[in-house]
Structure 1
Amino acid sequence: MKSALLVIDVQKGLFGPEPAPFEAEPVISRINELASRCRNASVPVIFVQHETENGGLVYGSLGWGLDPRLRGEPGDHVIRKTTPDSFLRTRLTELLTKLGATHLILCGYATEFCVDTTARRAAGLKYRVTLAADAHTTHDKPHASGDAIRAHHNATLPAIRSFGVPIDAILSGEIVV
Protein backbone atom coordinates (compact mmCIF):
# COMPACT_ATOMS: atom_id res chain seq x y z
CA MET A 1 0.00 0.00 0.00
CA LYS A 2 1.55 3.29 -1.14
CA SER A 3 0.57 6.36 0.86
CA ALA A 4 0.40 10.10 0.20
CA LEU A 5 -0.19 12.91 2.69
CA LEU A 6 -2.77 15.57 1.76
CA VAL A 7 -2.48 18.84 3.68
CA ILE A 8 -5.75 20.61 2.93
CA ASP A 9 -6.23 24.40 2.94
CA VAL A 10 -3.74 25.47 5.62
CA GLN A 11 -3.58 28.94 4.12
CA LYS A 12 -2.87 32.45 5.41
CA GLY A 13 -6.38 33.69 4.63
CA LEU A 14 -7.94 30.89 6.70
CA PHE A 15 -5.46 30.71 9.61
CA GLY A 16 -4.32 34.34 9.80
CA PRO A 17 -7.41 36.36 10.72
CA GLU A 18 -8.59 36.33 14.32
CA PRO A 19 -10.10 34.29 15.73
CA ALA A 20 -7.84 31.47 14.62
CA PRO A 21 -9.22 27.98 14.02
CA PHE A 22 -9.41 25.60 16.99
CA GLU A 23 -5.89 24.60 18.15
CA ALA A 24 -4.33 26.31 15.11
CA GLU A 25 -0.75 26.28 16.45
CA PRO A 26 -0.76 22.65 17.68
CA VAL A 27 -2.49 21.48 14.49
CA ILE A 28 0.16 23.13 12.29
CA SER A 29 2.90 21.66 14.49
CA ARG A 30 1.37 18.18 14.16
CA ILE A 31 1.06 18.60 10.40
CA ASN A 32 4.73 19.60 10.17
CA GLU A 33 5.79 16.59 12.25
CA LEU A 34 3.64 14.23 10.18
CA ALA A 35 4.91 15.72 6.90
CA SER A 36 8.52 15.33 8.06
CA ARG A 37 7.93 11.67 8.95
CA CYS A 38 6.25 11.14 5.57
CA ARG A 39 9.13 12.69 3.65
CA ASN A 40 11.64 10.59 5.62
CA ALA A 41 9.65 7.48 4.59
CA SER A 42 9.46 8.62 0.93
CA VAL A 43 5.73 9.29 1.27
CA PRO A 44 4.76 12.23 -0.98
CA VAL A 45 3.39 15.40 0.61
CA ILE A 46 0.68 17.25 -1.30
CA PHE A 47 -0.50 20.72 -0.29
CA VAL A 48 -4.05 21.47 -1.44
CA GLN A 49 -4.95 25.18 -1.69
CA HIS A 50 -8.48 26.52 -2.04
CA GLU A 51 -9.08 29.52 -4.27
CA THR A 52 -11.96 31.83 -5.02
CA GLU A 53 -12.69 34.34 -7.79
CA ASN A 54 -12.80 37.19 -5.29
CA GLY A 55 -12.16 37.78 -1.61
CA GLY A 56 -9.25 36.61 0.50
CA LEU A 57 -8.37 33.41 -1.38
CA VAL A 58 -7.81 34.69 -4.92
CA TYR A 59 -5.08 32.65 -6.63
CA GLY A 60 -1.68 34.23 -6.02
CA SER A 61 -2.93 36.60 -3.31
CA LEU A 62 -1.36 36.86 0.13
CA GLY A 63 -4.32 35.02 1.70
CA TRP A 64 -4.12 32.21 -0.85
CA GLY A 65 -0.54 31.37 0.18
CA LEU A 66 0.28 28.57 2.57
CA ASP A 67 0.46 29.50 6.24
CA PRO A 68 4.09 30.53 6.87
CA ARG A 69 4.31 28.15 9.83
CA LEU A 70 4.02 25.17 7.46
CA ARG A 71 7.34 23.68 6.45
CA GLY A 72 7.30 22.79 2.79
CA GLU A 73 10.19 21.09 1.04
CA PRO A 74 11.39 20.85 -2.56
CA GLY A 75 9.62 17.92 -4.14
CA ASP A 76 6.31 18.57 -2.34
CA HIS A 77 3.32 18.89 -4.64
CA VAL A 78 0.63 21.60 -4.84
CA ILE A 79 -2.96 21.14 -6.01
CA ARG A 80 -5.31 24.08 -6.59
CA LYS A 81 -9.03 23.61 -5.97
CA THR A 82 -12.23 25.67 -6.09
CA THR A 83 -14.65 23.42 -4.17
CA PRO A 84 -14.54 21.51 -0.86
CA ASP A 85 -13.72 18.37 -2.90
CA SER A 86 -9.96 18.15 -3.52
CA PHE A 87 -10.66 15.82 -6.47
CA LEU A 88 -13.31 17.83 -8.34
CA ARG A 89 -11.88 19.70 -11.34
CA THR A 90 -8.29 19.25 -10.11
CA ARG A 91 -5.34 17.14 -11.15
CA LEU A 92 -5.28 15.23 -7.84
CA THR A 93 -6.41 11.87 -9.26
CA GLU A 94 -3.83 12.15 -12.03
CA LEU A 95 -1.07 12.98 -9.51
CA LEU A 96 -2.05 10.14 -7.15
CA THR A 97 -2.07 7.70 -10.07
CA LYS A 98 1.38 8.88 -11.13
CA LEU A 99 2.62 8.46 -7.54
CA GLY A 100 0.99 5.02 -7.25
CA ALA A 101 -0.87 6.07 -4.09
CA THR A 102 -3.72 3.89 -2.83
CA HIS A 103 -3.82 5.23 0.75
CA LEU A 104 -4.37 8.88 1.69
CA ILE A 105 -3.49 10.49 4.99
CA LEU A 106 -5.62 13.62 5.43
CA CYS A 107 -5.11 16.67 7.61
CA GLY A 108 -5.81 20.40 7.46
CA TYR A 109 -8.80 22.74 7.31
CA ALA A 110 -11.89 22.85 7.45
CA THR A 111 -12.98 19.67 9.18
CA GLU A 112 -16.67 19.84 8.24
CA PHE A 113 -16.14 21.06 4.68
CA CYS A 114 -12.97 20.31 2.73
CA VAL A 115 -11.54 17.58 4.98
CA ASP A 116 -14.87 15.77 5.26
CA THR A 117 -15.72 16.09 1.55
CA THR A 118 -12.27 14.97 0.44
CA ALA A 119 -12.32 12.00 2.84
CA ARG A 120 -15.68 10.80 1.54
CA ARG A 121 -14.75 11.35 -2.10
CA ALA A 122 -11.42 9.54 -1.63
CA ALA A 123 -13.18 6.54 -0.07
CA GLY A 124 -15.74 6.61 -2.89
CA LEU A 125 -12.83 6.42 -5.32
CA LYS A 126 -11.53 3.40 -3.36
CA TYR A 127 -8.58 5.08 -1.67
CA ARG A 128 -8.02 3.86 1.86
CA VAL A 129 -8.21 6.96 4.10
CA THR A 130 -6.49 7.79 7.37
CA LEU A 131 -7.69 10.98 9.01
CA ALA A 132 -5.00 12.50 11.24
CA ALA A 133 -7.43 12.85 14.15
CA ASP A 134 -5.60 15.70 15.91
CA ALA A 135 -4.26 17.44 12.79
CA HIS A 136 -7.44 18.82 11.25
CA THR A 137 -9.37 21.82 12.49
CA THR A 138 -12.05 24.40 11.89
CA HIS A 139 -13.39 27.61 13.38
CA ASP A 140 -16.02 27.61 16.10
CA LYS A 141 -19.54 27.85 14.67
CA PRO A 142 -22.75 29.11 16.31
CA HIS A 143 -23.99 25.53 16.65
CA ALA A 144 -20.74 23.79 17.76
CA SER A 145 -17.16 24.51 18.80
CA GLY A 146 -14.24 23.59 16.57
CA ASP A 147 -13.31 20.95 19.14
CA ALA A 148 -16.79 19.37 19.00
CA ILE A 149 -16.83 19.46 15.19
CA ARG A 150 -13.46 17.68 15.05
CA ALA A 151 -14.56 15.07 17.60
CA HIS A 152 -17.79 14.48 15.66
CA HIS A 153 -15.95 13.85 12.39
CA ASN A 154 -13.33 11.65 14.08
CA ALA A 155 -16.23 9.47 15.25
CA THR A 156 -18.50 9.73 12.20
CA LEU A 157 -16.15 9.20 9.25
CA PRO A 158 -14.74 5.86 10.51
CA ALA A 159 -18.31 4.63 11.03
CA ILE A 160 -18.95 4.78 7.26
CA ARG A 161 -18.52 1.25 5.93
CA SER A 162 -20.48 1.47 2.65
CA PHE A 163 -17.51 2.66 0.54
CA GLY A 164 -15.83 -0.74 0.90
CA VAL A 165 -12.54 0.78 2.07
CA PRO A 166 -11.79 1.95 5.58
CA ILE A 167 -11.69 5.50 6.83
CA ASP A 168 -9.64 5.48 10.01
CA ALA A 169 -9.13 8.34 12.48
CA ILE A 170 -5.76 8.01 14.19
CA LEU A 171 -3.76 10.52 16.21
CA SER A 172 -1.05 11.98 13.99
CA GLY A 173 1.81 10.69 16.15
CA GLU A 174 0.45 7.14 15.91
CA ILE A 175 0.08 7.03 12.12
CA VAL A 176 2.48 4.53 10.60
CA VAL A 177 4.00 5.92 7.39
Structure 2
Amino acid sequence: MISALLVIDVQSGLFDGDPRPDDADAVIARLNALIARARDAGAPVIFVRHERPGTALEPGAPGWAFQAQLDVHDDDLIVGKTSPDAFLRTALEPLLVSLNVEQLVIGGYASDFCVDTTTRRAAALGYPVVLAADAHTTHDKPHLTAARIREHHNATLSDIVSFGVPIRAVDSAQIQFDRVERAAARGSQR
Protein backbone atom coordinates (compact mmCIF):
# COMPACT_ATOMS: atom_id res chain seq x y z
CA MET A 1 0.00 0.00 0.00
CA ILE A 2 1.45 3.36 -0.98
CA SER A 3 1.49 5.71 1.99
CA ALA A 4 2.36 9.39 1.92
CA LEU A 5 3.59 11.35 4.91
CA LEU A 6 1.83 14.69 5.48
CA VAL A 7 3.75 17.09 7.73
CA ILE A 8 1.35 19.89 8.61
CA ASP A 9 2.25 23.50 9.51
CA VAL A 10 5.64 23.03 11.18
CA GLN A 11 6.50 26.67 10.53
CA SER A 12 8.66 29.20 12.30
CA GLY A 13 5.72 31.48 13.12
CA LEU A 14 3.95 28.64 14.91
CA PHE A 15 6.93 26.90 16.58
CA ASP A 16 9.44 29.60 17.47
CA GLY A 17 7.36 32.04 19.51
CA ASP A 18 6.97 32.16 23.24
CA PRO A 19 5.48 29.94 24.42
CA ARG A 20 6.40 27.19 21.99
CA PRO A 21 4.02 24.31 21.29
CA ASP A 22 4.11 21.46 23.79
CA ASP A 23 7.03 19.06 23.33
CA ALA A 24 8.06 21.05 20.22
CA ASP A 25 11.65 19.83 19.85
CA ALA A 26 10.74 16.18 20.44
CA VAL A 27 7.82 16.41 17.99
CA ILE A 28 10.13 17.83 15.31
CA ALA A 29 12.69 15.09 16.01
CA ARG A 30 9.99 12.42 15.66
CA LEU A 31 8.74 14.02 12.44
CA ASN A 32 12.30 14.07 11.08
CA ALA A 33 12.64 10.35 11.86
CA LEU A 34 9.37 9.68 10.01
CA ILE A 35 10.56 11.83 7.09
CA ALA A 36 13.80 9.83 6.90
CA ARG A 37 11.96 6.48 6.95
CA ALA A 38 9.50 7.66 4.29
CA ARG A 39 12.31 8.92 2.05
CA ASP A 40 14.27 5.68 2.52
CA ALA A 41 11.21 3.72 1.36
CA GLY A 42 10.57 6.04 -1.58
CA ALA A 43 7.24 7.12 -0.07
CA PRO A 44 6.04 10.64 -0.86
CA VAL A 45 6.74 13.27 1.80
CA ILE A 46 4.41 16.26 1.52
CA PHE A 47 4.86 19.39 3.60
CA VAL A 48 1.70 21.41 4.14
CA ARG A 49 2.22 25.06 4.95
CA HIS A 50 -0.38 27.54 6.19
CA GLU A 51 -0.53 30.86 4.33
CA ARG A 52 -2.36 33.91 5.64
CA PRO A 53 -1.71 37.38 4.21
CA GLY A 54 -1.25 40.15 6.77
CA THR A 55 0.04 37.79 9.47
CA ALA A 56 3.31 36.11 10.45
CA LEU A 57 2.26 33.33 8.05
CA GLU A 58 2.15 35.59 5.01
CA PRO A 59 4.00 33.92 2.12
CA GLY A 60 7.61 35.08 2.15
CA ALA A 61 7.49 36.31 5.77
CA PRO A 62 9.99 34.77 8.23
CA GLY A 63 7.17 33.08 10.18
CA TRP A 64 5.89 31.39 7.01
CA ALA A 65 9.17 29.49 6.57
CA PHE A 66 9.43 25.93 7.78
CA GLN A 67 10.86 25.63 11.29
CA ALA A 68 14.65 25.51 10.96
CA GLN A 69 15.08 22.06 12.55
CA LEU A 70 12.57 20.40 10.19
CA ASP A 71 14.29 18.27 7.53
CA VAL A 72 12.91 19.87 4.36
CA HIS A 73 14.79 19.52 1.07
CA ASP A 74 14.60 21.93 -1.85
CA ASP A 75 12.96 19.31 -4.05
CA ASP A 76 10.29 18.24 -1.54
CA LEU A 77 6.58 18.41 -2.28
CA ILE A 78 4.91 21.43 -0.71
CA VAL A 79 1.21 22.30 -0.58
CA GLY A 80 0.03 25.70 0.61
CA LYS A 81 -3.29 26.01 2.42
CA THR A 82 -5.46 28.79 3.83
CA SER A 83 -7.75 26.86 6.19
CA PRO A 84 -7.39 24.06 8.76
CA ASP A 85 -8.31 21.58 5.99
CA ALA A 86 -5.25 20.75 3.87
CA PHE A 87 -7.60 19.53 1.11
CA LEU A 88 -9.82 22.63 0.87
CA ARG A 89 -8.95 24.78 -2.18
CA THR A 90 -5.49 23.15 -2.49
CA ALA A 91 -3.66 20.83 -4.86
CA LEU A 92 -3.35 18.09 -2.23
CA GLU A 93 -5.98 15.64 -3.48
CA PRO A 94 -4.90 15.76 -7.15
CA LEU A 95 -1.30 15.33 -5.99
CA LEU A 96 -2.20 12.23 -3.95
CA VAL A 97 -4.08 10.78 -6.91
CA SER A 98 -1.14 11.43 -9.25
CA LEU A 99 1.17 9.62 -6.81
CA ASN A 100 -1.24 6.66 -6.41
CA VAL A 101 -1.35 7.25 -2.65
CA GLU A 102 -3.66 4.86 -0.81
CA GLN A 103 -3.01 5.83 2.84
CA LEU A 104 -1.83 8.89 4.76
CA VAL A 105 0.48 9.21 7.73
CA ILE A 106 -0.20 12.55 9.42
CA GLY A 107 1.72 14.63 11.96
CA GLY A 108 2.49 18.26 12.68
CA TYR A 109 0.61 21.24 14.10
CA ALA A 110 -2.04 21.88 15.51
CA SER A 111 -3.55 18.74 17.00
CA ASP A 112 -6.89 20.44 17.64
CA PHE A 113 -7.20 22.32 14.35
CA CYS A 114 -5.25 21.45 11.20
CA VAL A 115 -4.21 17.92 12.17
CA ASP A 116 -7.73 17.08 13.33
CA THR A 117 -9.51 18.64 10.34
CA THR A 118 -7.14 17.17 7.75
CA THR A 119 -7.36 13.72 9.35
CA ARG A 120 -11.15 13.78 9.25
CA ARG A 121 -11.21 15.07 5.67
CA ALA A 122 -8.71 12.43 4.52
CA ALA A 123 -10.87 9.68 6.01
CA ALA A 124 -14.00 11.22 4.47
CA LEU A 125 -12.26 11.03 1.10
CA GLY A 126 -11.53 7.33 1.67
CA TYR A 127 -7.90 7.47 2.76
CA PRO A 128 -7.02 5.28 5.75
CA VAL A 129 -5.03 7.43 8.18
CA VAL A 130 -2.18 6.61 10.52
CA LEU A 131 -1.98 9.49 12.98
CA ALA A 132 1.55 9.79 14.35
CA ALA A 133 0.36 9.82 17.96
CA ASP A 134 3.48 11.46 19.43
CA ALA A 135 4.40 13.60 16.40
CA HIS A 136 1.68 16.23 16.49
CA THR A 137 1.28 19.06 18.96
CA THR A 138 -0.45 22.29 19.85
CA HIS A 139 -0.31 25.06 22.43
CA ASP A 140 -1.91 24.95 25.88
CA LYS A 141 -5.45 26.36 25.93
CA PRO A 142 -7.32 27.92 28.85
CA HIS A 143 -9.49 24.79 29.15
CA LEU A 144 -6.88 22.07 28.57
CA THR A 145 -3.13 21.51 28.34
CA ALA A 146 -1.61 20.73 24.96
CA ALA A 147 -0.60 17.27 26.17
CA ARG A 148 -4.20 16.49 27.10
CA ILE A 149 -5.42 17.89 23.77
CA ARG A 150 -3.04 15.57 21.90
CA GLU A 151 -4.16 12.63 24.05
CA HIS A 152 -7.81 13.51 23.41
CA HIS A 153 -7.37 13.71 19.64
CA ASN A 154 -5.42 10.45 19.51
CA ALA A 155 -8.31 8.73 21.32
CA THR A 156 -11.16 10.53 19.56
CA LEU A 157 -9.90 10.31 15.99
CA SER A 158 -8.97 6.64 16.27
CA ASP A 159 -12.44 5.92 17.63
CA ILE A 160 -14.22 7.20 14.48
CA VAL A 161 -15.50 4.34 12.33
CA SER A 162 -18.27 6.05 10.35
CA PHE A 163 -15.96 7.13 7.51
CA GLY A 164 -15.54 3.49 6.53
CA VAL A 165 -11.73 3.58 6.66
CA PRO A 166 -9.56 3.22 9.74
CA ILE A 167 -7.91 6.07 11.60
CA ARG A 168 -5.21 4.62 13.84
CA ALA A 169 -3.10 6.56 16.35
CA VAL A 170 0.34 4.92 16.41
CA ASP A 171 3.57 6.01 18.10
CA SER A 172 5.86 7.39 15.41
CA ALA A 173 8.68 4.91 16.14
CA GLN A 174 6.35 2.07 15.15
CA ILE A 175 5.29 3.58 11.80
CA GLN A 176 6.90 1.97 8.77
CA PHE A 177 6.49 2.74 5.07
CA ASP A 178 6.24 0.08 2.37
CA ARG A 179 8.96 0.39 -0.26
CA VAL A 180 7.70 2.29 -3.29
CA GLU A 181 9.34 1.25 -6.55
CA ARG A 182 8.69 4.23 -8.77
CA ALA A 183 9.98 7.69 -9.46
CA ALA A 184 8.30 10.09 -7.05
CA ALA A 185 7.04 13.40 -8.36
CA ARG A 186 9.15 16.31 -7.23
CA GLY A 187 8.64 20.01 -6.96
CA SER A 188 6.37 22.48 -5.30
CA GLN A 189 2.62 22.10 -5.71
CA ARG A 190 0.40 25.14 -5.14
TM-score w.r.t. the length of structure 1 is 0.99
Letter in 1 for 2:119: A
Higher relative contact order structure (alpha carbons within 8 Å, sequence separation ≥ 6): 2
Query: What's the counterpart of residue 97 of structure 1?
Result: 97
Query: What's the counterpart of residue 138 of structure 2?
Result: 138
Contact kept, 8 Å, 2:6 with 2:106, in 1: the verdict is: yes
Contact kept, 8 Å, 2:37 with 2:176, in 1: the verdict is: no
Query: What's the counterpart of residue 116 of structure 2?
Result: 116
Letter in 2 for 1:43: A
Query: What's the counterpart of residue 148 of structure 1?
Result: 148
Query: What's the counterpart of residue 35 of structure 2?
Result: 35
Query: What's the counterpart of residue 164 of structure 2?
Result: 164
Supply the distance in 2 between the matched residues of 1:168 and 1:61 (Cα, whole angstroms): 35
Supply the distance in 1 between the matched residues of 2:73 and 2:128 (Cα, whole angstroms): 25
Which 4+ residue blocks in structure 1 deviate beyond 6 angstroms? none
Question: What is the root-mean-square deviation of aligned Cα atoms in Å?
Answer: 0.7
Paired residues, number: 177
Contact kept, 8 Å, 2:11 with 2:49, in 1: the verdict is: yes
Supply the distance in 2 between the matched residues of 1:60 and 1:100 (Cα, whole angstroms): 31
> Which secondary structure does the structure 2 equivalent of 1:130 belong to?
strand
Query: What's the counterpart of residue 57 of structure 1?
Result: 57
1:22-80 deviations in whole A, cap 9, x for unaligned?
A: 00000000000010000000111000000112111001111000000001134420000
Letter in 1 for 2:73: E
Residue 107 in structure 1 maps to residue 110 in structure 2? no
Distance 1:74 1:56, change over 3 A: closer
Letter in 2 for 1:173: A
Supply the distance in 2 between the matched residues of 1:155 and 1:76 (Cα, whole angstroms): 31
Query: What's the counterpart of residue 5 of structure 1?
Result: 5
Supply the distance in 2 between the matched residues of 1:40 and 1:100 (Cα, whole angstroms): 18
Query: What's the counterpart of residue 45 of structure 2?
Result: 45
Deviation at 1:85, TM superposition (A): 0.1
Unaligned runs of 5+ in 2: 178-190
